[in-house]
Amino acid sequence: MGLCNMSNIEQDTRFIVNNNLINKGWILDIQDPNKNVFFESDILRIVNNEFLKKSKKRPDYVLFDSQNKRPIGVIETKSGGKSLTKALDQATEYAEMLDAPLIFAMNNGFCETRHLYTQKPLFIDENEVNELKRVNEAKEFILQETNGIYITPKEILVSRKELINVFKKLNNSLRGEGLRAGIERLSEFANILFLKLYTENANTGIWNSLKSLDNDLLINTTNNILQDIDRQYGASVFTNLQLTNPVAVKEMIKELDKLKLSSIDTDIKGDAFEYFLQQATATNNDLGEYFTPRHITKTIVNLVNPKYGEKIYDPFCGTGGFLTEAFDHIKDNTLIANNSSEEIKLKHNTIFGREITSNAKLAKMNMILHGDGHSGICQIDTLQNPIESEYDVVITNMPFSQKTSYSHLYENKLAKNDGDGVCVLHCFKATKKGGRMALVVPEGFLFKAALAPVRKYLFENAQLKAVVSLPKEVFLPYAKVKTNILYFTNCHNGRTNSDVFYYNVTNDGLSLDSFRRKIDENDLKNLDFADLNKSDFDKYYNELGFLKVNPELIRSNDYIYNYAHYSNSHIKSKFPTIKLKELLSLSGKVKVGEDTNIPIMSITMEHGLIDQHEKFKKRVASSDISGYKKVFKNELVMGFPIDEGVLGFQKYYDAAAVSPAYKIFRLKREVNVEYLDLILRSNSLRKIYKSKMQGSVERRRSIPDEMFLNIEIPNPPEEVKDQIVKQHKLIKEIENSLKENQKKLRLKTEALWELPQNYN
C-alpha cells in the first residue's frame, strides 16, 4: 500500500515505526549502502522471490540481514483502534513467502509479535516482546532459531534475582541499626544499590574506593559521593545515609559487590533498579502501596500517548514508574540526536514529579538510571502546593482515602475534606487548557454521593473520554482493592459532549491471585489497541469490547461514572427481559421480636437459603435472636458476597429468622419462584453481580439496592420456565439418590470389618 493510499492515522503509525526503527539502529535511508529496511515492493530489488512477485499485496516493511543477504522480519502496520490479529495473520503470509522468521504487527506504538516457525510470541529474557527490537537482538533470534532468546548475560539475570535475597539478608542488619521496616530500610539499601549501578562499567573507581574504606571514612565518603551526584543533577533529594555504623554499610557493599547487574553492551541499569523495586514491594506489604504494577503504568502511558515537546507530571510519583515509562515512550518514538537541543529539552523540561515521602529519592535514582537527568522530581506535600495550568499530561496512581486539610485550595472546598476528591482536583488544576489526564482512582470516587459535585465539575470542564474498570486483584499481593482508570481529554476547554467509552478488564495478563503468574488472557491488549484520541474510534469500539454511554445519561444519573451503572446494555438474551424491580421490592423491616421459636436460616453458596443446623454442627446464632430479621415464605434473602451466589428464596416456612446483616426482598407479584431462584444464582448473573459490586472491604462488597433492582433477566414463556425447573428437580433427585446409595455402599463396606472399639 503506497503512502498516498493510506489514511492519515495509518501514516501516523508509519511515522512512529520509522522513528522506532532508526532509534534502534536500523537503516532506512535509501542512499545508505547499508540500508536494511525495505518498504513494500522495494524488497524485490534485492530479493528474487516468485511468491511475492505473484502476490498483489506487499509487506509494509521487510527487515533485512545485509551480512547474510536474507530477509529476517516483516512489519505490518494498522491504524490505532484496530485489533492486530488480522495484521499478524497478514504479516505471517508475507513472512512465509520470504522465509522471514520474525513477525511484527503495529498500530500506533503498540506491537504484537509472532515467530514464523513456532507460531508463538517473541520473548527476550523470559519477557514477552511488545516493541520493535534492535538489529543485534533480531539477529540473535535468527541465530538461536527460536521464539524465546536470552540477550542479557546469564550472570546478570542471576544477579538480579539474587538482589532480593541480598535485601532480605541485610534486613536484619538494617533492623539492628534502628531502621523501621518498609520504606526506611528500602531507601537505605537503594542508596548503595544506586551507587553500584551508577558506577558499574563506567565509574568503577568510585565503587572500588568505597570497597577499600572502613570506619567513619566510609560513611563520610559515601555521603560526599551522594551529594556530588545531587549537585550534578540538581536533584535536591539525595540525603545522607541514616546509618551511622560503617560495619552495616560495609556489609551492604560487600554483598552487592558479588553481583553483576549491567553490562557495557546493554542499557539495563534502569531495568535492574526497576526489577528490584518491583520485587521488593511485591513481597513486602509495608512497601506495596508505593509501587504501581508496571503493566498498568505502560497501558496508561500508551493511553495518553505523551509526545516530544509536552510536559508530563505525576503529582504522587512514588518510585517513579509512570515517569520512567513516559520518558522511555517519548524517547523511543522520537528521533533525537545525542547532545542536541532536543535531547536537552527531553532531559530537562519534560518529566516532572512530586512525592511527599522519601520515595522521591528512589524516583530520582530511577530517572537518572533511565537516562533522565534534571531536577523535575521533588519531595513536597503535593496537596499543600497547588499548581495551575502547567502540564500537558497528568498521569498518576493517587493515594486513596487520605485525610486532608487543604480542600480550601481547590475550587472553593468543592471536595469538602474528601482526600480522593482533593487529589483529583489537584491533578485537574495542574493540567493545561486542552491537556490530558489519566488517573487510577478508588472505585468509590465513581459513585459516592458526597463526590458528585467533583465529578460534575470535571464532566462539565473536560471530555471524560474513558472509564476503565480494573480487577480488584491488580494490586495483589499488597492489597485487594477495586480501582478504575479515568481518562480525560480537552481539560479546561469545554464539557463532555461526546460518548464516554467504558471498558471492563476481566484479566490483566496475570493470574488473579497472590502469585500473579503470567497467563494468556489479557484484556489490557484491547485497551492498548484502542486509540481513544482518534476521531473515528466509534467504528471499532464494539469490536474491541467497549461500551459506549451517552453523556446525557451520566448527567441524569448524578454524574455517576461507574461501569456497573450502565453495563446492562451489553447483556443480550434471545428472550424478552424484565427488570428485577418489576418483580421485587425491598422488605425486611420486621424483627423476630418475641417470636424466637421460629427456624433460624443461613445462606450458602451451593444451596442458597437453608436451615442453619444443616450448615453448622452447632448453633452459631446468638442466644438472643429477637433483633434478627423475620423472612416470610417466598421472600428473597441476599448475603455477601453476592457474586459467589450468596442469596436465595425462603421456600419452606411461613416465617423464619435470618441475620440482621442480610437484605430481604419481597415479591411484588406472582412468579415462578423456583425459576427465579435458579436464574438469580446462575453463573451468568454472578458475572453481572461481580461487575456491579461496590465497597473496599473484599468480603463485604455488595450491590446497591437500586442497581440490583435495575438488573434485567431473561423472561421466557412459562412453559420454558417450567421445563427448566422440572429438569433441575430431576437432577437434584438423581443427586440425592446417588448420595443415598453411596452412603449405603459405605456402610456395607464398613460392615465387612469387626474392629475393637478402642482400635486406633
Q: Which is nearest to 505 in space by CA: 523, 521, 518?
A: 523
Most confident of 112-121, 185-194, 266-275, 750-759: 112-121
For 416, residues 6+ apart whose C-beta sits below 8 A from its C-beta are 407, 450
Question: Do 136 and 36 form a contact (C-beta atoms < 8 A)?
Answer: no
Q: Is residue 237 part of a domain?
A: no
Q: Which is nearest to 270 in space by CA: 335, 345, 327, 211?
A: 327
285 has a pLDDT exceeding 60:
no
Q: Is residue 530 part of a domain?
A: yes
User: Same domain for 605 and 544?
Assistant: no
User: Same domain for 543 and 629?
Assistant: no
Q: Is residue 273 part of a domain?
A: no
For 447, residues 6+ apart whose C-beta sits below 8 A from its C-beta are 560, 561, 562, 565, 694, 704
Question: Do 222 and 198 form a contact (C-beta atoms < 8 A)?
Answer: no
H or E stretch including 552? helix 551-555
Looking at 570, 601, 624, which one is the last position of a domain? Answer: 570
Angle formed at CA 101 by CA 98 and CA 104, multiple of 5 degrees:
95
Total structural domains in the chain? 3
* DSSP tag of 460: T
If pLDDT is split at 50, 70 and 90, which confidence band does 700 have?
low
Half-sphere exposure of 409 (CA within 13 A, CB side): 20
Res 230: pLDDT: 81
310-324, 332-346, 656-670: which has the minimum mean pLDDT? 332-346
Cell 456395607, residue?
748
User: Same domain for 545 and 611?
Assistant: no
Share of the chain above pLDDT 70, in %: 89
Looking at 149, 180, 202, which one is the last position of a domain? Answer: 149
Most confident of 374-388, 433-447, 603-617: 433-447
Question: Average pLDDT over the chain, rounded to whole?
Answer: 86
Q: Is residue 126 part of a domain?
A: yes
If pLDDT is split at 50, 70 and 90, which confidence band does 53 have?
confident
Strand order in the sheet with 483-489: 377-379, 351-355, 312-314, 391-397, 431-442, 483-489, 463-469, 500-504, 547-549
If pLDDT is split at 50, 70 and 90, which confidence band does 462 have?
very high
Q: Is the peptide bond before 717 cis (omega within 30 degrees of 0)?
A: no
Mean pLDDT of 90-112: 90
Q: What is the CATH number of the domain that holds 632?
A: 3.90.220.20
Half-sphere exposure of 642 (CA within 13 A, CB side): 26
620 has a pLDDT exceeding 60:
no
User: Same domain for 504 and 601?
Assistant: no
Angle formed at CA 443 by CA 439 and CA 448, multiple of 5 degrees:
110
H or E stretch including 435? strand 431-442
Q: Is residue 362 part of a domain?
A: no
If pLDDT is split at 50, 70 and 90, which confidence band does 612 have?
confident
82 has a pLDDT exceeding 70:
no
Res 139: pLDDT: 94
Q: Is residue 74 part of a domain?
A: yes
Question: Do 351 and 375 form a contact (C-beta atoms < 8 A)?
Answer: no
729 against 641, higher pLDDT: 729
User: Same domain for 501 and 470?
Assistant: yes
Res 237: pLDDT: 64
User: Same domain for 600 and 501?
Assistant: no
User: Same domain for 401 and 427?
Assistant: yes
Domain, as residue range, for 458: 292-316+382-570
Res 235: pLDDT: 63
Where does 128-282 have alpha helices with state H?
Answer: 135-144, 154-176, 183-199, 204-211, 215-233, 246-257, 269-282
User: Same domain for 584 and 532?
Assistant: no
Q: What is the CATH number of the domain that holds 477?
A: 3.40.50.150
Mean pLDDT of 674-693: 88
Question: Do 402 and 419 form a contact (C-beta atoms < 8 A)?
Answer: yes
Residue count of the chain, please give it: 760
Mean pLDDT of 510-518: 83
Looking at 118, 149, 180, which one is the last position of a domain? Answer: 149
Q: Which is nearest to 547 in space by CA: 574, 565, 573, 529?
A: 565
User: Same domain for 553 and 612?
Assistant: no
51-55, 126-130, 719-723: which has the minimum mean pLDDT? 51-55
For 604, residues 6+ apart whose C-beta sits below 8 A from its C-beta are 610, 615, 646
User: Same domain for 541 and 600?
Assistant: no
Per-residue pLDDT tens for 566-596? 876 556 788 999 999 999 999 989 999 988 8
CA-CA distance, 454 to 444, in Å (whole number)?
13
409 has a pLDDT exceeding 90:
yes
CA-CA distance, 196 to 193, in Å (whole number)?
5
Q: Is residue 265 part of a domain?
A: no
Per-residue pLDDT tens for 515-571? 788 888 888 888 877 777 666 666 667 767 788 899 999 999 899 998 877 876 556
For 729, residues 6+ apart whose C-beta sits below 8 A from its C-beta are 674
Q: Which is nearest to 632 in space by CA: 646, 647, 653?
A: 653
Q: Is residue 245 part of a domain?
A: no
Q: Give Rg (Cα) of the chain.
A: 31
198 has a pLDDT exceeding 70:
yes
CA-CA distance, 325 to 300, in Å (whole number)?
10
If pLDDT is split at 50, 70 and 90, which confidence band does 672 have?
very high
Res 78: pLDDT: 83
User: Same domain for 634 and 511?
Assistant: no
Question: Do 560 and 446 form a contact (C-beta atoms < 8 A)?
Answer: yes
34-43, 96-105, 497-506: which has the minimum mean pLDDT? 34-43
For 695, residues 6+ apart whose C-beta sits below 8 A from its C-beta are 482, 701, 702
Res 385: pLDDT: 96
User: Same domain for 558 and 588?
Assistant: no
616 has a pLDDT exceeding 80:
no
Mean pLDDT of 68-74: 92
49-58, 186-195, 689-698, 714-723: which has the minimum mean pLDDT? 689-698
